[in-house]
Amino acid sequence: PLTVQIFLYLLLCLFILTVMEPKTIEMAALGRALYPGMLYDCRRDSFIPGVTLWDKQSLSKDLDVHRQPKTDLKFVASDSLRDKTSVLDVSASLKASFLGGLVEVGGSARYLSDKKSSDRQSRVTMQYSQTTRFEQLTMTQLGKISYPQVFEQKTATHVVTAVLYGGQAFMVFDKAVSEKEDKQEVEGNLRVMVKKIPLFSIEGEGALKMNENEKKMADNISCTFYGDYELQENPTTYMEALQLYKKLPSLLRQRENDAVPVRVWLHPLARFDSKAAKLEREIGETLVAKVEVLLEELGDAERRCSDLGQNTTISDFQDVRERLKTFQESFGIYKVLLQKALATVLPAIRGGQAQDSSLADILTTHANSPFRASKLKQWLENVNGEVDVLSSYTRELNEVPVITSSAQFNSILFNPTVDTVICFSFTSLKYEDKYLQTVTEFLRADPFEKQSTVQKSSDQDIQPWFSNPEISKKMKENLCLFKSFFNANKDKKTTRFVISSISDPSNPGISIRLYKQEKVDDRFQPVSKPPAPSVDIQNRNLSNNAQVTEKSIISYHMFAFHTELDLFLPH
């Protein structure tokens, strides 16, 4: 038993030494100027310029250099951050730093920051990558430190000991999807067109012959270029991207010194001197994945918000536009506060000043906030529903202009050639938005500085005004009345018909307002056009059997042998 206990103790010690021993780290350079001998702080994922362990001559004298040529081509149909970091081979730890805003990427890695601006957008990305040479420090440098005092400064945790050079290019192809097009079909066609680029290039100019559908598709594809290559002009179209692809293999061969760091290897300073700063712990991959999902959800909401902002109906109705603007401003503030919290806690965890639970607390605060995915989705769906209702009604009255400001409305009311204005008015667009009130209150102080006091906001659904069955029924009735009245009187030069938003909580939904002789009837009920009268001719006498409603008297002119009536405004 004693022997077993000793064995288990030694095994435990070996395990602890293995786990605690600082390890060499391999990571993507992401367009950063990382070269052999540079110091690196893994706590903040930043390099330390101007401070080294060796002088310049020692670094360059015995550097081990050998060629490592390789070429690769990949296609990415997804726009998710997970797939982007995967294609760039970004580790979970480096991804966390990027998500927290600690890493400023450059060159081809700027592709990580590129996001679709709309959900009505199809996207396929082509990645072309090359490697050219590998450089590493030798034992000559590693065994003889020129400036040992650097260890005591504790500004860095690692040193770059090896670099793989090369270049990458990302060509992001986008195609807008119209309302009439099927998004999946457009994405499929876009994938086919992008994957044809290498085939066109191999087979030469003759293969560039396209049928009419391909030409039309190519003309509507835009291209955004992110690369490590020095170009006179970046491609912006499909055809320009195709021409560039042909030249990419030769660009680095002609100017091999222009190759940039693609991957780097970091050696822990603690292996040279125990006084050096250490990377005490890594961020758990599960937590990093949760942060990634959180930011993807915020990105989805941002795109939906952007799509709403581009909707022409939003620009026609000021109250809806102002609510969306208020939301966008609050959303932007929250994203800044969230990233600030991440940028603070990540280095603290890695440096041993905080536990993983600090990052978990940030996730909990977000889950309790009004910016969690379910609340964002609910509010945006309500706004989208409201806009759809407004769009459907204005489409039905496409001949009637929408008045977007009080100044524009007054110019019609006070026009001397107009004596009557009939307004199809949306009365429920101006209201106190409970969700926006909650958001404003939530952001009065930094929620991530008072995490323990953040209570989960209510999940209770608030019924939008347009989903009320009674209001919806009345709106449809008013639409029918207004359309009939408009069609009967639209040619009158002294009468104007308009659509506007005039708040009236006592009359929710839609009201028809009559402006005549400086008086306003805010519940005007036009009378439908009366049926054609029956005319009896007896003994050379005309008998008119037209019926008159009790609610309103309609004046009309009847001419001999005509049965159609002109519908006029009531006196």
Burial of 24-57, coded b for 16+ CB within 10 Å and e otherwise, reads ebebbbbbbebebbbbbbbbbbbbbeeebbbeee
CA distances from 399 to 318, 410, 424, 497, 499 (A): 21, 20, 12, 9, 10
432-479 pLDDT per residue, tens = 999 999 999 999 999 998 765 666 766 666 789 999 999 999 999 999
Q: Using alpha carbons only, how large is the chain's radius of gyration in Å? A: 35
- Per-residue DSSP letter, 120: S
Asked if residue 283 lies in contact with residue 92, where contact means CB atoms within 8 angstroms, the answer is: yes
- Per-residue DSSP letter, 372: S
Asked if residue 481 lies in contact with residue 528, where contact means CB atoms within 8 angstroms, the answer is: yes
The SS3 of residue 110 is helix
Supply the pLDDT for residue 62.
79
Instruction: Please enumerate, as own/partner, the contacts of 322-330 that have beta carbons within 8 Å and a separation of 24 or more.
Output: 323/383, 323/433, 323/436, 324/383, 326/433, 326/436, 327/379, 327/436, 327/439, 330/436, 330/439, 330/440, 330/443
The SS3 of residue 155 is coil
One-letter amino acid identity for 330? S
Please give the Cα distance from 60 to 40 (Å, whole number). Answer: 19
The SS3 of residue 505 is coil
One-letter amino acid identity for 131? T
Supply the pLDDT for residue 501.
96
Please give the Cα distance from 85 to 387 (Å, whole number). Answer: 36
Supply the pLDDT for residue 547.
46
- The dihedral through the CA atoms of 513, 519, 525, 530 has a sign that is negative
Quick one: how many helices (H) and strands (E) in the chain? 18, 14
CA distances from 519 to 69, 406, 503, 530, 551 (A): 84, 17, 18, 26, 20
CA distances from 226 to 82, 166, 196, 244, 256 (A): 18, 15, 20, 12, 19
Supply the pLDDT for residue 550.
38
Please give the Cα distance from 313 to 325 (Å, whole number). Answer: 14
Asked if residue 92 lies in contact with residue 79, where contact means CB atoms within 8 angstroms, the answer is: no
- The dihedral through the CA atoms of 427, 430, 432, 435 has a sign that is positive
Q: Terminal CA-to-CA distance of the chain, rounded, Å?
A: 111
Please list, in sequence order, all residues whose beta carbon lies within 8 angstroms of the beta carbon of residue 317, skipping any fewer than 6 positions away: 390, 402, 404, 426, 429, 501
571 residues of the chain, pLDDT tens digit each: 556 656 555 555 444 444 446 689 999 999 999 999 999 999 999 999 989 998 888 888 878 999 999 999 999 999 999 999 999 999 999 999 999 999 999 999 999 999 998 999 999 999 999 999 999 998 877 878 888 999 999 999 999 999 999 999 999 999 999 888 899 999 999 999 999 998 875 555 545 667 788 888 999 999 999 999 989 899 999 999 999 998 998 888 777 778 999 999 999 999 999 999 999 999 999 999 999 999 999 999 999 999 999 999 999 999 999 999 999 999 999 999 999 999 999 999 999 999 999 999 999 999 999 999 999 999 999 999 999 999 999 999 999 999 999 999 999 999 999 999 999 999 999 999 999 999 999 999 999 987 656 667 666 667 899 999 999 999 999 999 999 999 999 999 999 999 999 999 999 999 999 999 889 999 999 875 555 555 555 555 555 554 444 344 333 333 333 333 344 444 4
Asked if residue 527 lies in contact with residue 551, where contact means CB atoms within 8 angstroms, the answer is: yes
Supply the pLDDT for residue 158.
96
Please give the Cα distance from 125 to 106 (Å, whole number). Answer: 18
Supply the pLDDT for residue 482.
96
367-390 pLDDT per residue, tens = 999 999 999 999 999 999 999 999
Burial of 240-258, coded b for 16+ CB within 10 Å and e otherwise, reads ebbebbeebeebbeeeeee
Alpha helix locations (H) across 311-424?
Answer: 312-316, 318-350, 356-368, 373-396, 406-413
- The dihedral through the CA atoms of 482, 488, 490, 494 has a sign that is negative
Supply the pLDDT for residue 553.
36
Task: Determine the distance from the C-alpha atom of residue 329 to the mean position of all C-alpha atoms in its chain, rounded to a whole number.
Answer: 14
Q: Record the tokens describing residue 504, joined without a space.
A: 């009236």
